[in-house]
Amino acid sequence: MAQTETLTLGEIEDLSYQALIRAGADTDAARALARATAETEADGVASHGLAYIPIYCEHLRCGKVDGRARPIITQPKPGLVLADAGAGFAHGAIAAGFDALIPAARAQGIAALAIKNSYNCGVLGIHTLTLAKAGLLAIGFTNAPASIAPSGGTRPVVGTNPISLAAPDGAGGAALLIDQSASTIAKSEIMKHAREGRPIPEGWGLDAQGNPTTDPDVALKGSMAPSGGYKGVGLALIVETMAAAMTGATLGMDASPFSGTAGGPPRTGQVFIAIDATTSAGGDFAARITRLTDAIRAQDGARLPGDGRAQARARAARHGVAVNVATLEKIRAI
């Protein structure tokens, strides 16, 4: 069993920040990404948390991401904010874009932020949750390097392409948080199994001929299994349309991978739509969404998307997070 060490969220953020700074990120980029890393660990999504810091640092050093890029924010229409991340981390571009998106959505009832030329944005739900905490109904899209083949095909064309929805609860939190990819499992989970030399469950990945495999290395050379078969492919295409075609970002089939050092910046994209649901629902949105979520929680054994992460966040705030010692050693070496 892997050895772990318990860290507070502040220690996780500081460790991440120091490593990113030493790898070449500037203070703004490092702080935004370090904060998101701590939030991701708090949510219990270890595959996207500290485990990614050595990869981020490797990509800073090889030029796959520009740690000193400054996002350029424009607002060509009252309800449309544009962000060019300049091949930098998505987190800084998202934060800067939200500074314009939130007031625009409050003033007009709805607004969108379109980001291009960005790097991996990590856990998408971290960002939609920020908008929900601001009292806005949020929908987020992000495309990724191609890893899913179309129905009937074997060559990947679209990425795992997550989509997220966060609904405000009227009290500064989220009543509902959905964050899911178009694949059965996130690609980082297969990468984690490959690093640890463990087989993957059948149904996670396919080999180069489109056959199921339990070998993570074979799956990484083949394709990800879409969630729900052709429906998962359809979801990936929806996200690709929103996050890449609409933003001017690189299509997943043309983007360099988020792993390894080859290919230069991936220059993928994100879109966030923020809606003043209180106005559109006549003032009772919070009551309606609460009635919906209560109907699910009232059933014995039923689970609501986002509840697991919320519980993990509460535990992390009280007790810290158990982190793999081998991961910590890699980061401390940086």
Site of tokens 């981020």: 56
58 is catalytic: no
Q: Is the dihedral of CA 119, 49, 159, 309 positive or negative?
A: negative
* Set 5, 11, 47, 58: catalytic member: 47
48 is catalytic: yes
Say what angle helices 325-333 and 9-23 make with each other, to 10 degrees.
40
* Set 48, 59, 91, 193: catalytic member: 48
* Set 118, 189, 223, 227: catalytic member: 189
Per-residue CA distances from 181 to 42, 124, 158, 304 (Å): 20, 10, 12, 17
Give the Cα separation of 30 and 26 in Å (integer): 6
Q: What is the SS3 assignment for the chain?
A: CCCEEEECHHHHHHHHHHHHHHHCCCHHHHHHHHHHHHHHHHCCCHHHCHHHHHHHHHHHHHCCCCCCCCCEEEEEECCEEEEECCCCCHHHHHHHHHHHHHHHHHHHCEEEEEEEEECCCCCHHHHHHHHHHCCCEEEEEECCCCCECCCCCCCCCECCCCEEEEEECCCCCEEEEEEECCECCCHHHHHHHHHHCCCCCCCCEECCCCCEECCHHHHHHCEECECCCHHHHHHHHHHHHHHHHCCCCCCHHHCCCCCCCCCCCCCEEEEEEEECHHHHCCCCHHHHHHHHHHHHHCCCCCCCCCHHHHHHHHHHHHHCEEEEHHHHHHHHHC
Q: Catalytic site residues?
A: 47-48, 189
